[in-house]
Structure 1
């Protein structure tokens, strides 16, 4: 895979790519012939069952882009928040991202935008092509289309969180262009920005429809981890509603996956999602346990090795480009006590910096899976929503379960959980401990309307950024402004 997304390709052809982890046992010769990546006319791209599956595979390959969920987008979110200091002052290491000084001409701002919209267009092309096809069964068509809607929803969530102000700040403010029809030729770039609320509405519509049609599970644990299934759509809805501050709907969606009493398990006849017994297992090399609701895998060392500077392990541990800030959650007792197993996911390097070891494959090829959604997040989403809707008992119980997985003997003091404000503060801290390095901290600050705190790194001090500041979000990329006459810059 290229280290950066290349803009300017021929919309008249459809890129067909094969990702081995998505292959099904019924593959035919046409499907196998798509290895390595090739470009074929659209009229041929959907002519067989295997070629259609190749287009579904391509959706996940788009998410695997190194500047998107292949790694760098997660790192960008952590660089913009407050848990990490920056060691490397080079532009290629994201120094401007950490310094809160990303310009519209910044390569990263342009590449994230391009990668997300490429994934969206791939989804739109697939949805359009499947409308009238009789090459596959109606059942298969329905769940392929559901996968496309999931990929489109996840990609739009990335865009609206990055380039638009939070929903809780101004739902009627400028969002991003909603491109819901396929672009097959040049000259169709002009499209105005929809509102933030309209983008969120589309995300939720896609996820509601995906939930209905996605399969409950796949034949293997690897596919259940790397391919959208019913629980994946539900879990992402839980996150979306939390970002909107819509707590009743967070409860509604989360409760589909997390029972209100122990044991906290999502169990069907074919799949189980729950907390791993030991958090080290989540990051220990198998990556496909019941806690993984959706992850980006790296299987093939030839075609799927993330570029060095995009890999999570290189950024957090190998170089490291960013280290855990002393003033951040790294100082919390939970990450400094052997009684809490999460402390084993933090170490001190030769420069006396605390570094995150969740992603530990530090020798190329860097193929740690990228966790996009895991069960612990959904439990904490549910706990926060329960607290906000008056069910302090349930909120505290869900919080306690997450903590006790890491420290079975820990009991939260009454004062930490017996009022709404106290419980919410404890849940928010637990999110910082449990999810550190997984790209959630920025969204948690922004959805609550909080200032991005000032921070200190080896390259200096990054300023605090208040919610009304222009650099609270990324600017509309220069590449979009140059080709879309209807785009409006952020105020």
Structure 2
């Protein structure tokens, strides 16, 4: 067992360090290759030599985030299938069966692979920030500030995605529970591998620090629809803060952040920076990936696809376009009476095949190059709506949730009971999130942040039990790869 642990430790650390290396490898010469640096360190003497190489490093940070095991697809899938909206069709352990069944363990592939991909991205960010600081004289000061801000934004996204999956919700005890090893330094050797978990509150504190720094340093706009969607700008950081504060239950801060990028009374737009707004056609952001509704997305192309069995279309779309790994649960939101057949989201995004309903929101065929949405403006409006309802601004909450609904179904009238009380309005907004954000990776996060029980699921001869907040299965365990290599845990 000891030898096996040593082997695991060596393999894991080598993998993590390799993935965190600067992505400009052309600078390596024959001498470097024949005389490699010991342990897991690598010379970065060329990585920050020129402004061109530095922007290459920035692009590499985004590339690390969209690893197929991470924001290239898998984290979205796992946060979907943990909830009640999906039925597993193919009982394939490689494509999340244990996650759907709510019985992942420390050694489960998805638990280990996602953690490894996310921390590899974090360390790559940390290595970049150190290299940028060491070479700041080689770049224009404005770009230095911007690149630093982009890196911090990505680090905040990474830590938030991890803390919402591998730690108890902030709202369970105001963040007092154990959170994550909070790695903020560039690591190229094993010297500092042993690091205890910070509390959930400390992790959130760092997330918000990074996001505030990012907002201060990011540009208002890049002047290009593609870059405004695929690189962080000021509104991107603000939008992310509305999500983070919502998870903390700090609804007043959700409102104050949202007000920076949401103006209007019945239709809403961002008053500064990128002019974010809902598109009139709800399907458009999923075919034209760079509209102003898409605040931040992971771009894909035929030459840069998520990789086999990572893609959203592969999981959720019916054959022959997708693989139909998961179909929509007849007992879930798809058949809810408050989601009528006239709603454009049902018309455009739901397809029936072999008697089951599938989601075709991600409709590109193999190699499944749909952009992966990370933040859409509709989420921001619903974050704001929920926070407004919870702070007793009922008219604003109703206007915001109505804007999202009526974009897809102009004739729809919410039942009077939906707005009768503050709790009824909150419930209506939470239901609207299930409809609007279906397939985009929010369901499990919404369940845990509101301390609900994961409902039981039954279909295709399979069953997944209900999971209460008190259960050890409510959040994912630390992976064996971390437990074996971090003696401070």
Task: Mark yes or no: TM-score above 0.5.
Answer: yes
Q: TM-score, normalised by structure 2?
A: 0.90
CA distance in 1, matches of 2:16, 2:201: 32
Partner of 2:259: 255
Partner of 1:351: 354
Structure 1 position 149 matched with structure 2 position 138: no
Asked if the contact 2:16–2:116 (Cα under 8 Å) also holds between the matched residues in 1, the reply is no
CA 121–469 in structure 1, closer or farther in 2 if over 3 Å, else same: same
Tell me the CA shift for residue 334 of structure 1. Answer: 5.2
Tell me the CA shift for residue 390 of structure 1. Answer: 1.1
Structure 1 position 203 matched with structure 2 position 225: no
Please provide the CA RMSD for this pair: 1.9
Tell me the CA shift for residue 459 of structure 1. Answer: 4.6
Higher mean alpha-carbon deviation, 240-249 vs 347-356, is at 347-356
Partner of 2:276: 273
Q: TM-score, normalised by structure 1?
A: 0.90
- The secondary structure found in structure 2 opposite 1:306 is coil
CA 177–378 in structure 1, closer or farther in 2 if over 3 Å, else same: same
Structure 1 position 308 matched with structure 2 position 308: yes
Tell me the CA shift for residue 351 of structure 1. Answer: 1.9
CA distance in 2, matches of 1:144, 1:459: 51
- The secondary structure found in structure 2 opposite 1:45 is coil
Q: 5+ unaligned residues in a row in structure 2: which ranges?
A: 1-10, 28-40
Asked if the contact 2:220–2:274 (Cα under 8 Å) also holds between the matched residues in 1, the reply is yes
CA distance in 2, matches of 1:439, 1:56: 25
CA distance in 2, matches of 1:59, 1:14: 9
Give the count of matched residue pairs. Answer: 459
Partner of 1:390: 392
Partner of 2:229: 225
CA distance in 1, matches of 2:440, 2:333: 14
State how 1:464-483 maps to structure 2 within 5 Å.
Answer: 464-483=466-485
Tell me the CA shift for residue 193 of structure 1. Answer: 0.1
Over residues 210-267 of structure 1, what are the superposed CA-to-partner deviations in whole Å (9 max), with x where a residue is unaligned? 0000011113101100001101100000000001111000001111111152431013
Asked if the contact 1:392–1:419 (Cα under 8 Å) also holds between the matched residues in 2, the reply is no
State how 1:280-319 maps to structure 2 within 5 Å.
Answer: 280-283=283-286, 285-299=287-301, 301-302=302-303, 304-317=304-317, 318-319=322-323
Partner of 1:419: 421
CA distance in 1, matches of 2:45, 2:461: 53
Asked if the contact 2:388–2:396 (Cα under 8 Å) also holds between the matched residues in 1, the reply is yes
CA distance in 2, matches of 1:94, 1:103: 12
Structure 2 counterpart of 1:165, from 165, 168, 173: 168
Partner of 1:140: 143
CA 14–320 in structure 1, closer or farther in 2 if over 3 Å, else same: closer
Q: 5+ unaligned residues in a row in structure 1: which ranges?
A: 19-28, 31-38
- The secondary structure found in structure 1 opposite 2:327 is strand
Over residues 422-480 of structure 1, what are the superposed CA-to-partner deviations in whole Å (9 max), with x where a residue is unaligned? 11111111111111111101111111111101001325110000101111111100000
CA 370–49 in structure 1, closer or farther in 2 if over 3 Å, else same: same
State how 1:447-466 maps to structure 2 within 5 Å.
Answer: 447-466=449-468
Partner of 2:217: 213
CA distance in 1, matches of 2:20, 2:84: 41
Partner of 1:174: 178
Over residues 263-284 of structure 1, what are the superposed CA-to-partner deviations in whole Å (9 max), with x where a residue is unaligned? 310133x63100011101011x
- The secondary structure found in structure 1 opposite 2:265 is coil
Over residues 178-212 of structure 1, what are the superposed CA-to-partner deviations in whole Å (9 max), with x where a residue is unaligned? 00111011232100000000000100000001000
CA 10–104 in structure 1, closer or farther in 2 if over 3 Å, else same: closer
Structure 1 position 65 matched with structure 2 position 71: no
Partner of 1:320: 324
Asked if the contact 2:20–2:123 (Cα under 8 Å) also holds between the matched residues in 1, the reply is no
CA distance in 2, matches of 1:99, 1:360: 26
